[in-house]
Chain A
Amino acid sequence: MRIFVCVKAVPDTNANLKVGSDNLTINPQGVKYVMSPYDAVAASKAVELKAANEGSELIALSVGKDNKESRQRIKDALALGADRGVFIKDDAAHRDPLGVAKALVAAIKAEESCDLVFFGRQAVDTQASAVGPMVAQLLDIPFVMDCISLEIADGKATVKRSAEGRVETLEVSLPAAFSAQRGLAEERYAKLKDIMKAKKKPQADFDYAFPDAGYEVTAMTPPPERPAGKIVGEGPEAVGELLRLLQDEAKSLSF
């Protein structure tokens, strides 16, 4: 089996992001980049499947700026257990999801075969959840979103996905693409031995001429500041009012 996992470099979720002075991009100064957490779940699952299916090859793909932080994500995937990495340079300040998807598809098609493609359910920076389905569409293969379990047997995948108020079980013919929800695999920590080995694993660049997106980001502004907190009262008497506010005003509770 040939398995692909697509990973993206995103700012650490703890990072305090600031819009840059150009009002178009995030100021990268002092921001630590990591592999998008859902991608890490996807990579862990891909590694699991590779281990369970002898003779499989796991290839990590990433589109990103030609810098250390982005390239390091390929190394992260190699340290988790991918066999080799392919990096697609893209120095655009913003890249539309379709452009990223087309680049990934070109890189996948350049390989001999493709059985499985994994994504995280969304990149935690742009939160678009767009690239995965687009890749599947362009490859003309099935796509299952938000997978929480996945097993491969007899050339088919049995997948569970979480949806509103239910868990769906699906049988999917291969090749197919999947996006990982938390819980799909136990998240792995890279081992020292594997980080050292990763240094010696092949990493290639794949050149791709991105098409014009047809749109551009014209402004970026920070989100409005949060309004000050409200103390609704003290002790058990306050619970009723708190619930009412959470339900009616904040709309963060539903019964």
Chain B
Amino acid sequence: MPTVQFTSNLKRFYPDLKETSVKAGTIAQLVDEVNKFFPGIKNYIVDDQNTLRDHVNIFINENMILDRIGLGDNIAAQDRIFIMQALSGG
């Protein structure tokens, strides 16, 4: 199963957040599965239309996902997924 790691900044809202393996064939499925482990976290990653939030990035191994709207990028069992936040603020 693909594994997913999270930016440490999400631990402020989900203190028990940790690297997790989930059964998923696409990024959209992965986000839904992750939400089962950490209820509500999906709303931090995508907006109310299930589109990736502007200042959030998702990497499949070392490559940024291509489909930020539908999250349709395919993932394989050995893939490592990284959910990151953009380096912005002030």
Co-complex (A, B): no
Interface residues of A (CB under 8 A from B): none
Name B residues whose Cβ lies closer than 8 Å to a Cβ of A: none
